[in-house]
Structure 1
Amino acid sequence: MLRSLAALLLLSSAAVADTADGEALKAMTWDQVVEEARGGTVNWFMWGGSDTINAYVSGYVADRLKADYDITLNRVPITDAADIVNQVLSEKEAGVTDEGSVDLIWINGENFRSMKQADLAFCGYTTLLPNDALVNWDNPAIANDFGVPVDGCEVPWNTVQFAFAHDSAVVADPPRDMASLLAWIKANPGRFTYPAPPDFTGSAFLRHVFIHAAGGPESLLGPFDQARFDAVAGKTWAILNEIEPFLWREGATYPTTVTQLDELFANGEIDFSFNYDPAQFGLAVQAGTWPETTRSFGLTDGTIGNTNYTLIPFNSPNKAAAMVVQNLLLSGEAQLEKAKAEVWGAAPAIEISRTTPEVQAGFAAIKTHPSVVPASELAKAALPELQADWLTAIEKGWTENVGN
């Protein structure tokens, strides 16, 4: 039940931090938000499949929050953000409007679309964050999340672009476009596979094949169109069914997560892995799980790039503290720390030119890991993300026509 601002003023500052509604927060100055946040706890639900990302969040980020704001960060590892979307939706249906279990989610794409459409996101506050000034909201790839306008409902965290990894000691000359990759798969039985949807990365691989079948992304841009989908879908299912017998285990089964795909590559069972975040390849080499001869590449006909974000659910009881977390994540210092190859190697979501000279110098000094294809090279052939309704239709079509 929403409380009036007058009622809020009667509460202690500690209680306000836990119960202040969103409209009251949006009426405050940033200094007031910070004071409300002090001593709070943020339950951040995020993909937990990378030890290095987990260490950055539970170490660098959590330590700074505790030291500077007395905020406790509770990182809650998840496999699929869709599960948390459903959790928040269930809370809303049960009437839980101000004591939700989720304070922050690492999210993008169709999961963001679902939360925005169902009014599950806290919106309209992002301009309060001082570090919002570092974000280029004029960039449509940031202002729109898989074609869905952000509208102040989430805060960018990283930018990524899909890439493939291979062991150069095993595959010296990998295929460089989708047609060549499909031919390679049939010529090398059992040495390639992809995670089954709805795995986020497996779904991205499907979209690359779908775009290839369409002859490029141009006819797929904009809102979902059933006729255009049908014209491309049949070709896509034919391609995927044609390569299926040549996949790992003859396509009788698929990995269910990108983590399993990475394990197959690490064990030498397949010759390629792939990821939206190529920095993961260098981290796997540093961890000793992948060979030093690992190298990565994009495709000459393009790979998909996008931005990922953090989002505060509408019923988070710790919105002020979650806003402070988001502001810290956007800071030049935090973006620089995670950009370091030994920490994560993540591409920034902010304009480096808007940061301090010290932060700019730090970015300039970063050297890309030899196993990681430079972002500047990938960017030469970047493909736009399709709108979320296309993703849903492609995943459903795969289940019905290929995965069955």
Structure 2
Amino acid sequence: MPTAHAITAPARITSSSTNGRIQRRRGTLLPASRPTWGEVGSGTWQSSLDRGTRAAPGGPCELNGVRTTVPRTCARLLVGSWAVVLALAGCGGPDPAATGPELDPTDWPAVLAAAQGQRLDWYMYTGDDAINGVVQDYVAPRLAELGVTLNVVSVAATADAVNKVLAERQAGLTGSGTVDAIWINGPNFATGKQADLWYCGYPQALPNAQFVDADDPAVAADFGVPVEGCEAAWQRANSALVYDSAELAEADVASLTALTDWAQANPGRFTYPAPPDFTGSLAVRTFLYDTVQDPELLAGGFDEATFAEYADPLWARLNALEPDLWRAGQTYPTSQEAVEQLYATGEISAFFSYGPGTVAQKVTDGVFPATTREAVPSIGNIGNVSFLAIPRDARDRAAALVLANLLQDPATQLRFYADGGIYPVIDLARTPADVQQGFAAVPLSPSVLPLAELTANVQPELDAGYVSAVDDGWTASVLQK
């Protein structure tokens, strides 16, 4: 990854004294603020939903008449409105497929011609410096060469973007929506699919789809939800436990039981972000896998009885760990960025990451100590795929298709891997020899696990129903206990 970027990870600061941390206050979470983005490169970057969203950075936001100052709660309020939204989606309005721009994704020259001069509004999480750097330095210029201007709209929670698509659907903006593409996966994709928000049927028509194994279970299903041609894969993620080998031995990270034993002997040196932060939720889901022990029991769709059986032991385990967390568990970081900052400053010695490939650059840059290493606990690690969803009502659909294809280009995949440590979603066996040689030539830092070790015992992401149950259950049974 480039050693310097014009963009940096957005700070989430709960107050002048809490620096990105969540604190208990009568069972609530303190709000987090986030900065706006300036114009960079050949495209532009905007603050979260700055066109038409009733939210001020760090202040209260409103959705369907409900106001909150809790970070990401506006996104979660969306869940409570789905019954109304789905009912409206089923009413006798115009069919976006009929009123939207006519475009045949199998006619790629026509797609490229239609994309000329379009401004692509890509709604995405911008808290990852590695991804930001590649998007700014490589993706945006490549799109510009194809006549497309990239405008990245930063979102703190993907559900905010989905809610904007819903609002525009209700407002009748069929074929003229302002959200052209969303970096998405998991429950947000599932909810949008249920509401019939996504443009479908195009992924296999992309010229670079030849390099993607559509039958790969992680590509064919998104958190247990069949993709069915309604989103295009563009990167793969695997979790890992990152630790300072000067403080922890390999035996201390061999299992989650060993990790919690180490935390008990070294109080305050481990923590995780509060769910529904994505990585915080990942940490809790990893503990769920470890509590259940048999991954097959969690396979398939959400099973309420199975979750109920293991929920109490899970919460008991996390509550027992809590006094040994950073600040005795009375304060949880609000974001993964905050957790990594704690590690960088030496306040903690271990954390979960869904971006282990980015660790090497942070060691090289002197952000993380040279003794940083990675491990996969005995239960395994969780892996998933990130997708690009195109709303059915997208105004610049052709430009969005061009982006989806560019992200699957082997050259783009190699750039993400070499510069950002982002793992490829393409099947390297399907690529030309020079591409495979390019991937093999990327130097591997001793801080980072080889890809074969990282993927040797990967557990699939749980069904979206489990994710929601974990997030809600953690808040009720751990944070607010």
Q: Structure 1 length normalisation: TM-score?
A: 0.91
Sort the Cα spacing of 1:4 and 1:217 in 2 relative to 1 into closer, same or farther, 3 A.
closer
Does residue 77 of structure 1 match 2:154?
yes
- Aligned-residue offset at 1:159: 1.3
Does residue 129 of structure 1 match 2:206?
yes
Alignment of 1:4-19 (within 5 A): none
For 1:213-249, what per-residue CA distance to the aligned partner results, in whole angstroms no more than 9, with x for missing partners?
A: 1123111111211111110001001101111111111
Question: 8 Å contact 2:96–2:393 — kept in the other structure?
Answer: no
Q: Which of 162, 169, 176 is the matching residue for 1:92?
A: 169
Aligned partner of 2:414 in structure 1 is: 336
Amino acid at match of 2:230: C
Aligned partner of 1:16 in structure 2 is: none
Does residue 154 of structure 1 match 2:231?
yes
Alignment of 1:160-179 (within 5 A): 160-173=237-250, 174-179=252-257
Q: How many angstroms apart in 2 are the aligned matches of 1:200 and 1:114?
A: 17
Sort the Cα spacing of 1:317 and 1:280 in 2 relative to 1 into closer, same or farther, 3 A.
same
Matched position secondary structure for 1:358: helix
Question: 8 Å contact 1:199–1:257 — kept in the other structure?
Answer: yes
Matched position secondary structure for 2:333: coil
For 1:9-63, what per-residue CA distance to the aligned partner results, in whole angstroms no more than 9, with x for missing partners?
A: xxxxxxxxxxx825x2137611111110111111111111122311210111111
- Aligned-residue offset at 1:212: 1.3
Q: Is the helix fraction higher in 1 or 2?
A: 1
Q: How many angstroms apart in 2 are the aligned matches of 1:4 and 1:260?
A: 42
Aligned partner of 1:120 in structure 2 is: 197
For 1:122-176, what per-residue CA distance to the aligned partner results, in whole angstroms no more than 9, with x for missing partners?
A: 1112222111111101111211111111111111111121101112223244321
Alignment of 1:218-297 (within 5 A): 218-297=296-375
Aligned partner of 2:386 in structure 1 is: 308
Alignment of 1:292-371 (within 5 A): 292-340=370-418, 343-371=419-447
Does residue 111 of structure 1 match 2:191?
no
Alignment of 1:174-185 (within 5 A): 174-185=252-263
Q: When the two structures are aligned, how many residues end up with a matched partner?
A: 386
Sort the Cα spacing of 1:198 and 1:4 in 2 relative to 1 into closer, same or farther, 3 A.
closer
Runs of 4+ that moved beyond 6 A: 1-5
Does residue 31 of structure 1 match 2:105?
no
Alignment of 1:48-67 (within 5 A): 48-67=126-145
Question: 8 Å contact 1:46–1:106 — kept in the other structure?
Answer: yes
- Aligned-residue offset at 1:95: 2.3
Q: How many angstroms apart in 2 are the aligned matches of 1:213 and 1:81?
A: 29
- Aligned-residue offset at 1:84: 1.3
Aligned partner of 2:476 in structure 1 is: 400
Sort the Cα spacing of 1:214 and 1:81 in 2 relative to 1 into closer, same or farther, 3 A.
same
Question: 8 Å contact 2:96–2:392 — kept in the other structure?
Answer: no
Does residue 376 of structure 1 match 2:455?
no
Amino acid at match of 1:170: E
Amino acid at match of 2:235: N
Sort the Cα spacing of 1:223 and 1:28 in 2 relative to 1 into closer, same or farther, 3 A.
closer
Sort the Cα spacing of 1:95 and 1:398 in 2 relative to 1 into closer, same or farther, 3 A.
same
Question: 8 Å contact 1:46–1:105 — kept in the other structure?
Answer: yes
Q: How many angstroms apart in 1 are the aligned matches of 2:434 and 2:155?
A: 35
Question: 8 Å contact 2:182–2:389 — kept in the other structure?
Answer: yes
Q: How many angstroms apart in 2 are the aligned matches of 1:25 and 1:84?
A: 24
Q: How many angstroms apart in 1 are the aligned matches of 2:133 and 2:368?
A: 19
Give aligned-pair identity as a percent: 44
Sort the Cα spacing of 1:27 and 1:62 in 2 relative to 1 into closer, same or farther, 3 A.
closer
Question: 8 Å contact 1:26–1:128 — kept in the other structure?
Answer: no
Aligned partner of 1:21 in structure 2 is: 100
Q: How many angstroms apart in 2 are the aligned matches of 1:351 and 1:3?
A: 34
Q: Which of 134, 144, 152 is the matching residue for 2:221?
A: 144
Matched position secondary structure for 1:347: coil
Aligned partner of 1:390 in structure 2 is: 466
Q: How many angstroms apart in 1 are the aligned matches of 2:148 and 2:309?
A: 52
For 1:246-303, what per-residue CA distance to the aligned partner results, in whole angstroms no more than 9, with x for missing partners?
A: 1111111211111111111111111112211211211222332111221111112211
Q: How many angstroms apart in 2 are the aligned matches of 1:388 and 1:2?
A: 27
Q: How many angstroms apart in 1 are the aligned matches of 2:288 and 2:128?
A: 28
- Aligned-residue offset at 1:347: 1.2
Matched position secondary structure for 1:25: coil
For 1:62-121, what per-residue CA distance to the aligned partner results, in whole angstroms no more than 9, with x for missing partners?
A: 111112x11111122222212212222222222222222211111111111111111111
Amino acid at match of 1:35: A
Gaps of 5+ in 2: 1-93
Across the aligned residues of Structure 1 and Structure 2, the Cα RMSD in angstroms comes to 1.7
Amino acid at match of 1:125: Y
Matched position secondary structure for 1:274: strand
Q: How many angstroms apart in 1 are the aligned matches of 2:96 and 2:177?
A: 16
Q: How many angstroms apart in 1 are the aligned matches of 2:206 and 2:283?
A: 35
Q: Structure 2 length normalisation: TM-score?
A: 0.77
Q: How many angstroms apart in 2 are the aligned matches of 1:310 and 1:205?
A: 24
Question: 8 Å contact 2:235–2:387 — kept in the other structure?
Answer: yes
Q: How many angstroms apart in 2 are the aligned matches of 1:223 and 1:134?
A: 29
Sort the Cα spacing of 1:83 and 1:27 in 2 relative to 1 into closer, same or farther, 3 A.
closer
Amino acid at match of 1:94: A
Aligned partner of 2:21 in structure 1 is: none
Amino acid at match of 1:109: G
Question: 8 Å contact 2:382–2:458 — kept in the other structure?
Answer: yes
Question: 8 Å contact 1:57–1:75 — kept in the other structure?
Answer: no
- Aligned-residue offset at 1:3: 8.8
